A = this chain, B = another copy of it.
C-alpha cells in the first residue's frame, strides 16, 4: 500500500533531525532568558522593589496553558473527523506544532525581541510562538489528507517566517492592534493554506472520496477538539492583551461572541438542510467563528452587545460558506479545502478585521478614559487620530491578504517538488501510508488471513463503512440462501 514515493524511511528522519539540530544551534547562539525567567536578573528586580507576584508568569501562564490546549488538542482533534485519518490528524498536528513553536520563537524574536543581538524569551514569547503555530495548523486544515509530513514541515518552515514578517509589518510598522489575531493568525493562515491547496490541486481526488468522510465515532472525537477551542477562545484572545481590564474585557467579549455564534450556527445548519437535520460539519466548525471574528476588536470597548452581533453574523457566514460557497470554490476555483478553513478562519477573520477597523475608528476618550493608553497608545499620546488607527487596521487586512496569497503561491510550488513524498490521488485521507497500523496481534490467533492489503484497509479503520456493507451483504446472502435451502 506504500509506494517508494510515500516511503518516509529517510525523508522524514533527515528532515526532522536537520531542522532540530539547526534549531538547537540557533538557540544556543542567540537565545537568552528574559528578565523574568533569569535567576540573576529577576532577583535584581526584586532587589529594586518588585515582588514575585509581579512576575509575568502569574498574569500569563494560565492563559498560555489554555492556548496550548487549543493548539494541540483543539486543532489536533478537530481534524480527526475523517474516518481513516485520525492518527495523522493528531500526530502530524503534534509534529508540525512542536517544530513550528521553536522556529516561531526565533523568527518572532528576531523581529520583536532582540536585545543586544540576543533574543530574550519568557511566557509571552511562548504564547506568541503558539499563536504563530496556530496559523500553520489552520493552513494544515486546508491540505489535510493530501500532504506528507515532510511537506508539512517544509510548509511550516516558510509559513512561520512569512507570518513573522507580516506580524512585524502590522504591529510594528503600521501600529495596528490584533491581540487575538483575526488578521495575523486566522486570515493569514486561512488564505495561505487555500493558496497552497490551490497550487497542489488534484484533478483526480474523487478516487479518494470514499475516505474523505466521517463516521460516527470520528465525529465524536472531532467534537472534543471543537469544544476545547470554543471554551478556551476567551483565553486565546486575551492571552497577550494588557494586564487588568484589558485581559478581563477581552475574555468576556469573546465569551459572548461565541455564545451568540453557536445559536446562529445551529439555526442555519438546520435551516439549510432539506429535512432540518443538523450537520456535524457546521456544529464542529461554524460555532467557533465567533472567536475568530472577535480576535481584533475583542480587547476594544466592543461591549458584550457588539460582541454578540459579531458572533451572530460570523456563525451565519460560516454555515452558509460550508453549505454554498465551498462547493463553488472547489468546482470553479479548484480549491480543495478539506476542513473548510475558508469558512471557519478565512471569512470570519476578514469580518473580525473589519469590525476591528470600525471599532478602532470610533474610539473616544469618553469611552476609554485613561485606558486608551493600553488599547490605543498612539491615539492616547496624540500621535494619530482614531480614524487614522482605523485606516491602519484596514490597510493591515489588505497587507495580510497579499502576504498570505503570495506566500501560499510560492510555498505551494515548492511543495510540488516530487521528493517530498505526497500521496497519490487514490490514497489520500489514509493513515496506513504513514503509520504502522496495529495488526500484530492478528497473526497470533487467526491462522489463515485474507488478502492483507484488504484486511489492512478494513482493520485500520475498524469502523470502515466498506466493511460494514460487506458484512451486511454476507448476512443477506446467507439468509437468502437459508430461504432457498428450506425448500
Q: Which of A173-181, A223-231, A353-361 contacts B (4 or more CB under 8 A)?
A: A223-231
Contacts of A66 in B (CB 8 A): 65
With contacts A9-B271, A268-B13, A273-B436 known, is A37 near B248, CB below 8 A?
A: yes
Number of interface residues of A (CB under 8 A): 175
Which residues A32-84 have CB closer than 8 A to chain B? 32-33, 36-44, 46-47, 52-59, 61-62, 65-66, 68-69, 72-73, 76-77, 80, 83
Whether B52 contacts A53 by the Cβ 8 Å rule is no
CA distance A100 to B42 in the complex (A): 37
Q: Which of A336-344, A363-371, A389-397, A406-414 contacts B (4 or more CB under 8 A)?
A: A363-371
Contacts of A91 in B (CB 8 A): 223, 278, 280, 283
Per a CB cutoff under 8 Å, which of B31, B126, B210, B252 touches A122? B252
With contacts A46-B244, A52-B243, A123-B252 known, is A259 near B209, CB below 8 A?
A: no
Q: Which of A138-146, A196-204, A300-308 contacts B (4 or more CB under 8 A)?
A: A300-308
Whether A276 contacts B8 by the Cβ 8 Å rule is yes
- Other A-B pairs beyond A91-B280, A474-B475, 6, CB < 8 Å: A7-B275, A65-B231, A73-B231, A149-B266, A441-B465, A473-B475
With contacts A277-B2, A444-B209, A446-B469 known, is A219 near B39, CB below 8 A?
A: no
State the Cβ distance, A482 to closest chain B Cβ, in Å.
6
Contacts of A469 in B (CB 8 A): 442, 446, 449-450, 455
Per a CB cutoff under 8 Å, which of B19, B37, B482 touches A477? B482
State the Cβ distance, A6 to closest chain B Cβ, in Å.
9
Q: Is A220 an interface residue (CB 8 A)?
A: yes
- Give the interface SS of chain A, mostly helix, strand, loop or mixed: helix
Closest chain B residue to A375, Cβ basis: B39
Q: Nearest 10 pairs between A and B by C-beta?
A: A39-B371, A40-B369, A9-B276, A52-B244, A213-B441, A42-B245, A43-B370, A98-B262, A16-B267, A57-B248
Which residues A256-310 have CB closer than 8 A to chain B? 256, 258-260, 262-264, 266-268, 270-271, 273-280, 283, 287, 301, 303-305, 308-309
Work out how many copies of this chain go into the complex.
3
Whether A273 contacts B16 by the Cβ 8 Å rule is no
Q: Is A249 an interface residue (CB 8 A)?
A: yes
Closest chain B residue to A44, Cβ basis: B369
Q: Is A423 an interface residue (CB 8 A)?
A: no
State the Cβ distance, A165 to closest chain B Cβ, in Å.
22
Whether A460 contacts B216 by the Cβ 8 Å rule is yes
State the Cβ distance, A469 to closest chain B Cβ, in Å.
4
Q: Is A87 an interface residue (CB 8 A)?
A: yes
| Chain A to chain B contacts (Cβ below 8 Å), 30 pairs | A2-B275, A16-B264, A16-B267, A20-B267, A24-B308, A36-B248, A38-B245, A39-B245, A39-B371, A41-B369, A42-B245, A53-B54, A55-B245, A56-B248, A62-B62, A65-B232, A76-B223, A86-B216, A90-B227, A95-B266, A126-B255, A210-B445, A212-B441, A278-B436, A449-B469, A455-B468, A462-B463, A463-B463, A467-B472, A471-B475
